Structure formats: C-alpha cells, structure tokens
Structure 1
Amino acid sequence: MKKYIALSMVSLMLLNACATIISGETDKVAFTAVPENATFLIKNEAGQSVHEGKTPATVMLDRGNGYFAGQTYQVEFSAQDYISQTQKLDTSMNGWYLGNLIFGGLIGFLVVDPATGAMWDLPEKMDVKLTTRISN
C-alpha cells in the first residue's frame, strides 16, 4: 500500500503544471489613453489584427506564440486631432512557471507550461498619452 501511495505522489509531482493551472493560456490587459475614447488596434507578431476597440477597454490576449515563445503585440492608438502612437506589448516570465521547480513538476516545466504559453505574463495595463496635433 505504501508503494502505491509513494508512486501516486511521484506521479502527481511529475505532472504538475503550475502556471497553466494558476494563470491559464490568456491574460487580461487593460488599455487606457488620453484622450479617452481613443481607437486602438492590437496586432500579434504575425501582423494579424487580434482586437480593435476604444479606450478604456480590457482585452483577453494569448500569452504564448508557440513552444517556449511568448507573444509580442504592437498596439496602435489614434484619435482625431492627435498624433498616432504605437507601443510594444511584450511578455515576461510568469512567476508560477518557476513553481514547477519547487513542486517537482518536470512535465509542467518542460512540456505543458511552455506549450500552452502559460509560462508567460503580459502587463496588467497599458496607459498611453497621445500628443495633440499642431495645425498650421
């Protein structure tokens, strides 16, 4: 019986995927701009439009872009009488991903979290202040 319990514990530790379980494959990002009601367009690394809207808004975005690759986005903000501005939205390492090392989740560390993109985090928000266009 002790052998089965030990085997079960080891199996659970190896199948751990901390970032996937805690954070998921997508991340919520809030977009604000001055002036309010500015239009924004989000494009992924492939140049595909993934969202278009008006600020303020909150959007769910994919964390990953393939095995061990975080997604990077270009966000273009525009408003009438203001100069358009493009900002880069990039991922960083998710702290829960390192939980795989602590809890012994080898499969989570090498396979699950890297494949799902859960090993990456996006910033919680992006704030932009557009510059007024000077007319001649």
Structure 2
Amino acid sequence: MAKVETIICSLLFLFAGCATIIHGTNQHISVNSSPQGAKVSVNGIPVATTPAKIKLSRSESSVNLLIEKEGYKSQGVIISRKLSGWFFGNLLIGGLIGMIIDAVDGAMFRLEPSEINVVLSEFEEGKKRSATRTKKISEREGDIAALPVITQGLPPSSAELLWKAILEVCAVNTSYRVLTKENVFAILKDKEVDINQCSDVQCSVEYGRMLQADKLITGEVNLIEGIYYVSLSLYDVSSAAVENAVSDECRNCDFNKLLKLVKQLTSQLLEVLK
C-alpha cells in the first residue's frame, strides 16, 4: 500500500505536496469518555458529544480539548502537531514545490494524540453535594471574583480553561457567591476597562472594587523550558491585603495534570476562608 501511495505522490508532486495528497490538510480525532455523553469543546467552543470524531486542521500548532459532563470532573487534553513522515516523500522524488505546498497548508504535520479515551471521575454523592450547596447559599458571606489567569508560553484558550477551573473550585469550596467570567467581563466592559491590561497588584485590587467583590483571586502560569510555574494569590479587596498565597511547579506534565494542580492550589488558597 505504501508503494502505491508513493507512486501517486511521484505522479502528482508537480501539482501538490505528497502529504497533502496522502492524508490531506485535516485530521479526524477520536474522542471517547466513560461515561459517554460528555461535551467536547475545542479551544473553548463546544463541538460534539462523546463518543465522537472531530475534524481538526493540521495547521493548528496546539489545540485544547475540554471534556466535561455534569456531575463529573472535567478533563483537558492538549493536541499538538508533529512532522508527518509523508512530508519527506517530497525529498525522495525531488518535489520542492510539494514541500512548499505541504508546509503552507499544514499537511506536513500529524496531530497527536489521534485517539483520546478518558475516564471521568464523579464528584461526591449528589445528595451530599446538593445539601452542602444549599447550606452555603444560605450562609453566603459576600462575593468572590477571579481575574483571568496571566499566562506565558500557553495559548489564550489555555488561560480561559485555567480561569474556569479556579471558579469551579470557588463554587464548591466557599460560602461566597462566585462572580462568573461572564459577570466579570460584563461589569468591566460597562466601566470601559480592558481586563487584559491589568498586570499588577494595585490594578487587580482596583478591578476587584469595580466588581464590588469582597475577595479576589489572581493567578499566573508560566511555561519555561518545559516546566509549568503556578502561583495564586487571594486578596481582601477592601484592605488590599494579601490573605493567602500559594505556588508550585509541574514538571513533565500535560495540560490535564496542570488543571489538576491549579484546582489543588485553589483549594489550598481558600483554606483561610473556612
């Protein structure tokens, strides 16, 4: 079969790249979960429900998948691209034009992993969670907000997933009312403030006051030489005092492990509010 495909490349290299001919510019990724029926989002956009096959462009340098189902902990997967062996078919037949075409349309790459299988972990027993949530609602102590996570070396979509993870932990682990990211964007937009322009403590606390929040969480995640460095801070907005700060690093870990670490650190951060 490989010989046949190589012959085809040889005949058509003047008109297209070898990788473009053999496997095209898109790739189907198989996504399965246990239990089934989980929502699959690509870079924050819902696209399917498991079991599913999703079509992605090979030109994407990195794709963030989030698999989530009500009552279960979400899991994130990063799909990255690697050089396809078919790209070198152009070298064998002298197809400089084909190499250029494969490079331009992304066909020179393959996406990995091509098959994703995740087992979603169930939250605590439904009745227990419901009772805890009811108790917290009746005992709310104020509002807590989190600003978008500042990231370095990660795509913007990753920052949004990390921000969402922090908010999820706040909703479960505190008796404060959590301002959703939609609330935060809407309020600051109404005040004509660009949320992405804030990078220091004074600015963050001022944004917290605009949001009329009692507590504020800020965070940074930097990817440096393959190591994720994570730091989170909790502020009392009225006094601008740091109530707690936590940090850790994640070596040789994928995005799913990074999400888990951020959730663990958020839980530690909120210990002072219990």
Fold conserved (TM > 0.5)?
A: yes
Q: Which has the higher strand share?
A: 1
Q: Which has the higher contact order (CA 8 A, sep 6+)?
A: 1
Aligned to 2:76: 86
**Take 2:101 and 2:109, find their aligned partners in 1: how far apart are those partners?**
12
Displacement of 1:75? 0.5
TM-aligned CA deviation for residue 118 of structure 1: 0.1
**From 105, 109, 114, the counterpart of 1:120:** 109
Change beyond 3 A, Cα 1:56–1:119: same
Runs of 4+ in 1 over 6 A off after TM superposition: none
Q: 1:104, CA displacement in angstroms?
A: 1.0
What is aligned with 2:56? Answer: 61
Q: Does 1:99 align with 2:94?
A: no
Query: Alignment partner of 2:77: what SS?
Result: strand
| Local SS of the residue matching 1:90 | strand
Q: Which amino acid aligns with 2:25?
A: E
Give distance in 1, aligned partners of 2:101 and 2:13: 13
Instruction: Note if contact 1:15-1:105 (Cα within 8 Å) is conserved in structure 2.
Output: no
Task: Tell me the distance in 1 between the aligned counterparts of 2:21 and 2:13.
Answer: 13
In structure 1, stretches of 5+ residues that fail to align are 1-11, 66-70
* Matched AA of 1:17: G
Q: Which one has the bigger helix percentage?
A: 2
* Structure 1 segment 1-136 matched on structure 2, within 5 A: 17-43=17-43, 49=45, 51-65=46-60, 71-109=61-99, 111-123=100-112, 124-135=114-125, 136=128
Higher-Rg structure is: 2
Q: Counterpart in 1 of 2:171? A: none
* 1:134 CA displacement: 2.0
TM-score norm. by structure 2 comes to 0.39
Distance in 1 (CA, whole Å) between partners of 2:17 and 2:119 is 38
Corresponding residue of 1:3: none
Once the 2 structures are TM-superposed, how far is the Cα of residue 121 of structure 1 from its aligned partner?
Answer: 0.8
Give CA-to-partner distance per residue, 1:33-88, whole Å, 9 cap, x none: 11111111011xxx6x3x521100111110004xxxxx311000111211111110
**SS in structure 2 at match of 1:82:** coil
Helix, strand or coil at the partner of 2:78 = strand
SS at match of 1:100: helix
SS in 1 for 2:36: coil
- 5+ residue gaps, structure 2, are 1-11, 129-274
CA distance in 2, matches of 1:16, 1:120: 15
Q: Is the 8 A contact 1:16 1:104 kept in 2?
A: no
Q: Distance in 1 between matches of 2:94 and 2:102?
A: 14
Q: What is the alpha-carbon distance in structure 2 between the residues aligned to residue 73 and residue 42 of structure 1?
A: 7
- Tell me the alpha carbon deviations over residues 67-116 of structure 1, each in whole angstroms, 9 at most, x when there is no partner: xxxx311000111211111110111111100111111111222x100100
**Percentage identity across aligned positions?**
32
